[in-house]
Structure 1
């Protein structure tokens, strides 16, 4: 991984888990503006976040963050979710890519580790991830089937002492850089049950099988994370690294945390939308005198978009409250991601159009934000899938 800039002073790289929420958010905002902003375009161009930036984020306490976590509440509680969504939004104002990298080390697979893994496994890996020693990938989607679990073919076969995993996964975020893979597998290809298995690539050993990672995707946006094809070839997972054993309820348990990631992506969309609106407002205000026709046009164009972003914030907050209260339909999270994602495309397009040719150049961040917004309508559930989830729950939602 490349070194994109000098690290922050040691005094700024401190653990802040015991600080209050607002102090932590201010720390994140300062990091985003002072450290991340100067390298955001370089991350996009090189398609590489960089080891040193990852190390600094770990030092700030941004990974496997335990702040406000309540183990007695789903997902750590509503306040926990609100806090994390604010963190992601602050980072996304500068780099949606980095915001998603941080999200991946707090929600989804990390939530599953917290809630479902045996205590010894949970504590060991949370500590390693928080320290930046290892990062976690979520290996669910497969070639030709996407996230349609009914058609998955990755199988975990029971053997003496554990399981052997064989199968292919595709579009696995960070698979090459992240040493810990949470792999979704079935007992047989035609089974309706799934399990969740922790594959630590550093612990395979000579008889542990192989994890082959190839076909890095050349993507439109969210560059720097790396998306890969992964082949698990006779990979041994001992019983003590089984996060969820085969059960018909395991899919619902996995999706509960997958829905938390959809909320995180909604927050990222909101953050990048706010950044695009601010960029367009500042740029156009500098070009045109206050009160001039172009200046008035800018204001009337931005006004409804700002209103819609505020509405997207409200629905995301509502969805977080629903999820923390135990929602397992996925509809609130789907609604939040759908609304925020589709809005981000319209906002970034309008902002770039308002800024003329510079809006589509490297003079402003809008072209990058446009590409990132487009990727976010696919990542974590395409808009069409999200609409389907909402449609499936219309009777309850219309009550």
Structure 2
């Protein structure tokens, strides 16, 4: 983000959040170098596992960290040719025998900003308890966290630390989310994503520049929507979930936000719409999937006031759903997998949440000053599995 007149003021309790959104392109380049430097040891740990046809890969985390798994799941399944499931730690801890019902060799990939949430370590412990054979890949932003310290010296574990600055000090996860997801994609996706970090960084820099995406975002926020809905298909459904969570977090729940798939929205969730609702639809780069996204865009634009429905797309051209002032472009990513598109497009969502928070006089770095919701979850009682 630049310091132009359209940029949020860091004097409004947003110093950490503003910095952590803006630092993402630089940190993505650092993640790319970090993974490259660790490639030999990572491959030595992972290749014997991923070569096994009976391996199950489970992507786990809580909240935003769980949505990282949702974004990655289908792309990694295709790349690895293995069963890959996204299972939140909150589900795994509450129902370990259900989530891990099949006693098959498992690679548990844990995403954690701090690694200090009660469920983070508990999920790995329960996997060890329930399964006969489990290996752990821990991707975290905090070297001093409980999760990193527990798994650093274990032979069946590998800890991949993100750049220290990605351990966001703001309330909501921003750079931690994108750094961890990018790292997993580079580590588990193989050479298919060589060079993608630089393309992502350039796309995000363009979005954050004044005159890029900043003006369009300001226009949406100026409409003062009381509800914001995000829609997307496949990997972009995971992005939609993360986008809605950012609004809820940074506005302290003052703005209602929800998410669904483009097809699933008609099956009940559409009831949330009113004339004060803004809808953001992420258009898939896959031509087949994009047709369903375009259908819901056309339907919603016929039902809601002009300017209420925005599309976010990397596809240039004359497609009806990707034209006009209500289309926001992710530059330079036409043709990439949706999992890659999601990592740049989330910057739009982060900026919408930030600006919506500031517009309502809320401090994004601390949207819950009375402590009813915490940066690191508290109050969880862990019960023994007998």
Higher relative contact order at CA 8 Å, sep ≥6: structure 1 or structure 2?
2
TM-score norm. by structure 1 comes to 0.28
Identify, as 1 or 2, the structure richer in helix: 1
